[in-house]
Amino acid sequence: MGAEGGEKVLIRLYERMALIRAFETLMEERARAGELWGTFHSSVGQEAAAVGVCAAIGREDLLVSNHRGHGHFIAKGGEVRTLAAELYGLPDGCCGGRGGTQHLYGPEFGFAGSNGITGGGIPIATGLAQAQKMLGTGRIVVCMFGDGASNQGVFHEGLNMAAIWRLPVLYVCENNGWAMSTPTSEVTAGSSIAARGAAYGIPYARVDGNDVEAVLRAASEAAARVRSGEGPYLLECLTWRIRGHSRSDDNFYRDKAAEKAWADRDPLRIAAGRLVASGAASDSEIKAIEERARGEVMRAVEACRSARRPDGSSAASKLYATPIEPSEPDPSVEPLKEGEFEEKYYWEAIREALCEEMDRDERVYLFGEDCAEYGGCFKVTRGMLERYGKSRVINTPISEASIVGLAAGAAMGGVRPVTEIMFMDFILLAFDQIANHAAKFHYMYDGRVRVPLVIRTPAGGYRGYGATHSQSLESRLLGIPGLKVVAPSTPRDAKGLLKTALRGGDPVIFVEHKGLYGTRGPVPKREETIPLGRARVARTGKDVTVASYSYGYILSLKAAEALQPEGISCEVVDLRSLVPMDAATVAKSASRTQKLVIVEEGHLTGGIGAELAARVQEMAFGYLDAPIRRVAAADFPIPAGRELERAILPSVESIVSAVRELTCG
């Protein structure tokens, strides 16, 4: 590129930086004036990093941003009008007013989402890169994050995975020297953030992040390497956040001399000085560029001010990509006739569902801890590596947060991952990526993205594994909007519900109780998908309803059989699906029997039973002749010793006792 060509490029870069500066300045004024609802995170001072990086990649390439993402959105090609509308909470905002300043989305120009969780976008971007490689799109993914995010565990997990699989992702750290109000130098070990790439064999570079031309050169070289198939790259841009962390931050903690020194290196001042010095633009032309930018932002602001405010009615929509249809037929309510089924183990039915869906849809793949050669901790996926190969049955590091984060990003990128978390206890390590990312994206981004992700995990006790390998944590997932939770009890339900989950567009936690893997039952030979959110009356009775799920359902059936000789007739309802929960079927049954016992293996306090009891009481209070009883694990960690474990967990005897108390007074 000749000198003249370079000057034209610099003018275009300056125009984009000036637009970002104008937007951030004017909108922060509106925020401080109380015109905008919520917080505001300005990127004033960091324009060169955003513009230089985005100029180095194509419109079709993807960029994942962070909470300070306005500049990234504009630099990648986003319109000021839709961005302003989002901050004003308007329906024509890029996320329909649902995302606000921290959660932006623009797939039409490759903006793959900004994120309010520090470091949270790193595994998402890594997963998007995995999807691009699997689909052969030729696109690369850029992940923008701050210096504070480099000390999050997912930074290291994400870089490790990207390096292992040579994924096409360019990690860009905008090191502005401050993790909110804490100096980066006080909390970050090592010579530089960029140098951390060496630990994972990732090439890296450091660049003056306030020099847009230097950033463009460095980012262009890095992007070319990533695009060529060499794998990830880590670029650190040294810059300075001129404003406070957010609109409520007055910057009292920063050294004034340092602020002045960085002000002298303002990225717009550097670029404008070069344009004037080279004769490519005069002072008046620079001023005209800035005035045009300011005018564009002011027009957007005025349009937002004059727009009709929404009435809030759209808030209760777009929770799921695949909505729950209560009228959808449920084939599993029909009994199977002789010759229509085969007896199969629970684990076998799960593997059969996985294989059938992988045969049907080449986008489905397995991704998790020891799921390949070993076949998973409970051997459910044994033999699938030989059948589908290493590109579709993938062992991961023991990095639960990034396993789920990568899978969520990959799902957003167009593939359909099935992850395996070895024990449900370990899902707590991935809770951020489940609750703050995968479950929220569809709603938060105004229904513009789908996250078709299934997370399989074995749960439960009765095996002597102790407190960290025996938990049933389903209730911890119950209050996460956007997530679906399934806990089948029989081989038939396991296969039919898993197939439905695999074909949907939402994140699903598929809970497999360890005590059920060896159970057998009829599985139809025909194709069968079972709708989520539908309970099943497994045994009819007249005296009391016993509602449960998973292994608790097995215990409930045994308790019902034990009570039959006493003349106590139990109706047993299997919830099957916890989110959405079919409380109506339980309430209808309880209205007939006038008594209800709820059985779960999770702990009593704050459990599934508490929620179900509240819902049933709202629906059927006038029909109940006695208080609802709950049978659950006592509120203690699950001990390993046989007798101690049995004392804590529900049992046939404890269910029988609860039913007797209700029916016999």
Which residue type does 435 have?
A
As separate numbers, helices (DSSP H) first and strands (DSSP E) second, the chain gives 23, 21
Nearest 5 degrees, angle CA 489-CA 495-CA 497? 75
Question: Is residue 154 classed as helix, strand or coil in its secondary structure?
Answer: helix
C-alpha dihedral sign at 502, 602, 534, 567: positive
Burial of 282 (C-beta count, 10 Å sphere; 0-12/13-18/19+): exposed
CB-side exposure of 505: number of CA atoms within 13 Å?
17
Distance CA 122, CA 483 (A): 21
Active-site choice (469, 571, 603, 645): 469
Burial of 617 (C-beta count, 10 Å sphere; 0-12/13-18/19+): middle
Token digits for 510? 């598929």
Terminal alpha carbon distance of the chain: 90
Burial of 164 (C-beta count, 10 Å sphere; 0-12/13-18/19+): middle
CB-side exposure of 603: number of CA atoms within 13 Å?
12
Whether the CB-CB separation of 560 and 539 falls below 8 Å is answered with: yes
Token digits for 521? 């039952």
Compute CA distances 388 → 356, 363, 406, 450, whole Å.
12, 12, 20, 25
Give DSSP secondary structure letters for 101-121. GG---BGGGTB----SSTTTH
Compute CA distances 394 → 77, 91, 415, 479, whole Å.
35, 41, 14, 31
Cis upstream peptide for 580 (omega within 30°):
yes
Pairing type for strands 233-238 and 169-175 reads parallel
Compute CA distances 162 → 129, 237, 402, 564, whole Å.
8, 20, 11, 58
Token digits for 34? 């109380």
Active-site choice (400, 512, 571, 601): 400
Give DSSP secondary structure letters for 514-550. GGGTT-EEEEESS-----SS--EEEE--SSEEEEE-H
Known catalytic residue: 400? yes
Query: Residue 468: CB partners within 8 Å, gap ≥ 6?
Result: 423, 425
Strand partners for 359: none
Distance CA 255, CA 247 (A): 19
Question: Is residue 345 classed as helix, strand or coil in its secondary structure?
Answer: strand
Nearest 5 degrees, angle CA 90-CA 59-CA 229? 135
Strand partners for 519: none
C-alpha dihedral sign at 242, 21, 103, 456: negative
Which residue type does 139 have?
R
Which residue type does 524 have?
P
Query: Quick one: CA torsion of 337, 342, 347, 350, rounded to 10 degrees?
Result: -70
Distance CA 352, CA 546 (A): 30
Catalytic positions are 400, 469
